[in-house]
Amino acid sequence: MDNYDVIQSGKGLIKAWTRGVPVEDAAWDQLGRIAQLPFVHKWVAAMPDVHLGRGATVGSVIPTTGAIVPAAVGVDIGCGMMAVRTSLSASELPDGLAEVRAAIEGAVPHGRTRNGGSGDRGAWGDLPEAYGHAWNKLLMDGWKTLCDKHPKLARGNTENHLGTLGTGNHFIEVCLDEVDRVWIMLHSGSRGVGNRIGQHFIRLAKGEMERWYVSLPDMDLAYLPEGTEHFDDYVEAVGWAQEFARLNRALMMQATVSAMQQVLGAFSADEMAVNCHHNYVTKEHHFGKNVWVTRKGAVRAGPGDLGIIPGSMGARSYIVRGKGSTASFHSCSHGAGRAMSRTAARRRFTVEDHVAATEGVECRKDEAVIDETPMAYKDIDAVMAAQADLVQIVHTLKQIVCVKG
């Protein structure tokens, strides 16, 4: 039995895994505008964490032929998750975890950073041998080529953000699974460099629409046609940013493990590892065609693919294995999804509400993180139930430490 609803929007089609999960009207309207783009392949898939975004709806899967919408990929290119299972068990942890949290915060730059600031040290100076060649190739070849073609990319915070967490919903967590094994999980992307690339190509796409007199219901749906110079440059740039994001997560994970070892003593952290994007574009084969699949807040869930679906600061998270649903273009949700805007959350909830919601979690409990309080997100249990045909739960995680920027 299909666990999704089929929604016709003009000439477009949406398949939505949202049963039992609230979705605001504005998100449905946005999905409808995307689905009607003439180069969408078959339909747009809406995940249960779907909510209004810029250009494209967060929690959507957009397969296209012959074009890519840069704003659908967004500016946090390659944003995603990484998790590793350690050899530690809950019984080996101290009663208080404030020292563990402080060690992680001291080892991984987080929050808002600026050129030359203490948080902008980057990570290339002490790259481990395993990553040294990869980063050298990435920086010296790929980045130089991109900046030669598009000099504006080199302005502002760019590659100096490697090894930094950022702000918003980016986090580092220590978690316990269903048998009290300790996991480390983190969420971040390509940071300033991805933002720079995304903004640049969104502007170029809008310029092309004006040049070709293309009328769109939303200018953030401006696209780059395949075969044009800007399209090829974008594919190159977005691929570079996605690798930057993957390396960024790996380096932060290494720094986190090292910091925790200083507090807890020796342990291993390589028993099971997952590193996956949930904000990216890639070429895949679906329904007889090679298509560009944009996952805007969605994770690849092909047969056997391992993925990570985080909840919120006070809710469970999940390590999952994809079931290979063809209707969803081998995808699942990237998290619980926001139930309200950051502004609405700050107006509605108090520090006392947040303290109660994060009881038992060593984390920030101040006004600056109210917009990330668990109540600002959808019910992760409802989200998981709505996509039971997309993924199988492998591990259930509950955080005990959470670091936010």
In order, the DSSP letters of 282-348 are EEEEETTEEEEEEEESEEE--TT-EEEE---TTSEEEEEEE---TTTTSEEESSS-BSS-HHHHHHH
The fraction of the chain above a pLDDT of 90, given in percent, is 75
**pLDDT value of residue 115:** 42
**pLDDT value of residue 54:** 82
> Which letter, b or e, does each residue of 278-310 get, where b requires 16 or more Cβ atoms within 10 Å of its Cβ?
bbbbeeeeeeeeebbbbbbbbbbbbeebbbbbb
**pLDDT value of residue 100:** 97
Q: Is the pLDDT of residue 389 over 60?
A: yes
Q: Is the pLDDT of residue 225 over 90?
A: yes
CATH code of the region 5-339+377-404 = 3.90.1860.10
Q: Is the pLDDT of residue 123 over 50?
A: no
Mean pLDDT of the chain: 90
Q: How confident is the model at residue 368 (pLDDT cuts 50, 70, 90)?
A: confident
Q: Is the pLDDT of residue 195 over 80?
A: yes
Active-site residue list: 334
For the chain, give me the number of helices (H) and strands (E)? 10, 17
**Domain-by-domain residue ranges, the chain?**
5-339+377-404
Q: What are the tens digits of pLDDT across the range 160-177?
A: 677 888 888 899 999 999
Residues 142-162, mean pLDDT to the nearest whole number: 80
Q: Do residues 363 and 288 touch, judged by C-beta distance below 8 A?
A: no
**pLDDT value of residue 175:** 97
Q: Do residues 306 and 121 touch, judged by C-beta distance below 8 A?
A: no
Q: Is the pLDDT of residue 207 over 70?
A: yes
If you average pLDDT over each of 132-146, 244-258, 278-292, which comes out highest?
278-292
Contacts of 382 (CB under 8 A, 6+ apart): 20, 21, 48
Distances (CA, A) of 216 to 31, 208, 210, 213: 14, 12, 10, 10
**pLDDT value of residue 380:** 96
Q: Which residues pair with 45 in a beta bridge?
A: 15, 61
**pLDDT value of residue 163:** 80
Contacts of 167 (CB under 8 A, 6+ apart): 110, 111, 112, 404, 405
Residues 38-60, mean pLDDT to the nearest whole number: 95
Higher per-residue confidence, 364 vs 155:
364
**pLDDT value of residue 238:** 96
**pLDDT value of residue 114:** 47
Residues 174-194, mean pLDDT to the nearest whole number: 94
Cβ burial, residue 215 (10 Å; 0-12/13-18/19+)? exposed
